[in-house]
Structure 1
Amino acid sequence: MTADQGAAVCAWTRAPADLRLSAAELGAVFLGGTTLASLAAAGLVEEVRAGALARATAAFRADREPFCPGGWAFPAY
């Protein structure tokens, strides 16, 4: 992925990965409530290229934590 002046482009690459993690960890970070840095501290994310973890953690950072006031349960009928 490259970004310039507010536009981003994703393209296939043959370059080695900067981070190694499972889809479960990526999903947890994408949905919020955890960070790549905390998952790496738990041994669930491997930083392959120096500095990649800090950059990716910053990229996924949001201004607000996820919040669902009603919860996820359906009402009982």
Structure 2
Amino acid sequence: MIQRIQTAFLIVSTLLLGFLFQYPLADILAANELYVFKIGGIYKGEEQVFNGLPIQIFLILIILLHIFVIFKYKKRIQQMRI
């Protein structure tokens, strides 16, 4: 399966995108209040200020596309179109 360096990079990229679901992206301090930016949204303490569902959907689509391309390694022409 891992016949090209492209596949190795896709696997690493997929793993890193998967880690985004585990860890916060940023901590934002504004007006002496701490906001935590996660894939699920922006949180102020336990309260969700912004819903991050569009970001989650987009990341899931990217991960699925990476997995699809990895398993299409034999069909190089079709893989290049994606």
Q: TM-score, normalised on structure 2?
A: 0.28
The structure that is helix-richer by fraction is: 2
Bigger radius of gyration, 1 or 2? 2
Q: TM-score, normalised on structure 1?
A: 0.29
